[in-house]
Chain A
Amino acid sequence: MNDNFILKKDHLPGLLRRLMKEYRLVAPVNNQHGDTLFSVIESIDTADLDLCSQPQSSIKPFLFPQQEGLFDYEHSATAYHFEHQPTATPTAFFGVRSCDLSAVLYMDVIFSKKGRDPYYFQKRQEAVLISLACNEPFANCFCNATKTGPFLEYGFDLQFTDLDDRYLVAIGRAKGQEIVNRFRHFFEAAEEKDSKAQYQAFLEARSHFKQQVHVDQAIKRLAGQPLPEEIWADLSLRCQDCGGCAYICPTCTCFTISDQPTSASSGQRLRSWDACTFSGFTRMTGGHNPINSRTHAVKQRFLHKLLYDVQEHGRPSCVGCGRCVGICFGGVDIIRFINMACGQL
């Protein structure tokens, strides 16, 4: 427990102010209209930092933007010319919840599977991840069941735990150590009572989950017999093909490529988020679609999360953030699916 420090809450703004001098700071901010979003903080004095609500989206858009220019192109009668000048700003992410941080670890794997994706890793290498453990899980959370929270043991650069008047700060990686070293005067060494208080908070948080979601049971069921077709048909008929679940999901990383002309001879190649629930995702050029959207629209999504990724990476790619529960128009979220797969609906 030598790696633990204490930061008094009074001094959090001071620490963030110092961090802002060296990093772009991204943290959950209330936008004055009731929405809490991860936002770039321009001024620590005017931003309404909100560490009590679940941010509407994860930090995925900062590492893997919804739409990203890959390169500019220009062509003449004789040649093509491509221009790509990628840049990434050193960014400190503060207040990242355990589920969202676990999702970044998953993205690290996905974007390095077949060679490292330069667009993602450029931003990832410049990122410092400061997580905030969840003493009080939110309404649709079930990270206890996906083993991605409410507290983390690894993966973060720094992990903050709220202990009323102070934060217990745990160092996870070298970049976190660097920050503590650099701003050592903000931190005190943690005592044993602090570590005990953190453990108590962890134990209590585990009993505060409002959702009972049996992810392990669903994984086992899926690995065995295929599910009855009626389950897929019932869910798919209610799926309205909006892609909201994939867009809001911190681990959905499918994308599509398109060209955006800026003139007759030039333009930009873009990559944009995609979703396996879209019928265009599997439709072939001739118009044939091997997936019947009325009966199987959501099958790939749920099997990818809870079967294929378990087979390939030994863990599910759902991190239990519960965001798809709130966003789905048809009520076709992963909790409903897991309950159906476990025979409880």
Chain B
Amino acid sequence: MSLGSTPALPRHPSLIAGIVLLSIVLLPASLSVVWTPFPTARLDIVHRLAPISATHPLGTDPFGRDLLSILMIGARNSLSICTAAIALGAAIGVPVGLAAAASPGWRGATLMRAADLGLAFPPLLTASMIVAALGAGRGGTILAIGLFNAPAFARITRVEARSVLQRDYVAAARIAGRGPAAILGVHVLPNIAATLLVQATIALALAILAEAGLSYLGLGTPPPVPSLGRALSEYQTQIFDDPLLVIAPGAAIALLVLGLNQLGDGLRDILDPAVAQRA
């Protein structure tokens, strides 16, 4: 029962909160592409473990590197790796889901079972294998996270695509002679795009956590490129003397994940009101 309408924005606190939180990390991270307060490659032992100051807003690490710069590049690094991973997952999962939706009966079911195999390989295990065989690197991380995400994309795509395929305008298009590829591209994809976007956002949040974990164990980005997870493991021994070194990278990760989670919730509220009723 609507008794007058209110403007859209104040009714979506999740979306706004998400955007704000994300920006706190996203802006410095993007900036780091062209500039950071200090170069992170150079060690500056003289200034090691410096406290917070005007020159070093977050102090320096045991090697004298500026913590803020490390966080900026680390955040950018996490985001680029994870975005690539999610894109990979979608690139694999969405076509599989579409194919499964378009194939009736056991063919579709078999396809989905095959896709579900990805769920048996958490990123940690895949990354473990790749690193043991080939050594650490960005590619391995992207592959490990991407492969684990593909089944979820496949599932959602299949469910949504099936429901779109049953609609009348699709039947009309079929009768008019449209081929299956055209139907999928013109009718199905645009209609499921919103759901996929929500899925991608939430998956990205989990990917950031996964990548941080992998880096913490040394299975992610190798030195000297700064990484939030690896920073946490490197600075863990300093925890008693300089807790900020440990708190800051974790907080950066948390902000990123929290922002993405809120953004995902907010997008879902807007794009899928039936689900939002419950949330």
Q: Do A and B bind each other?
A: no
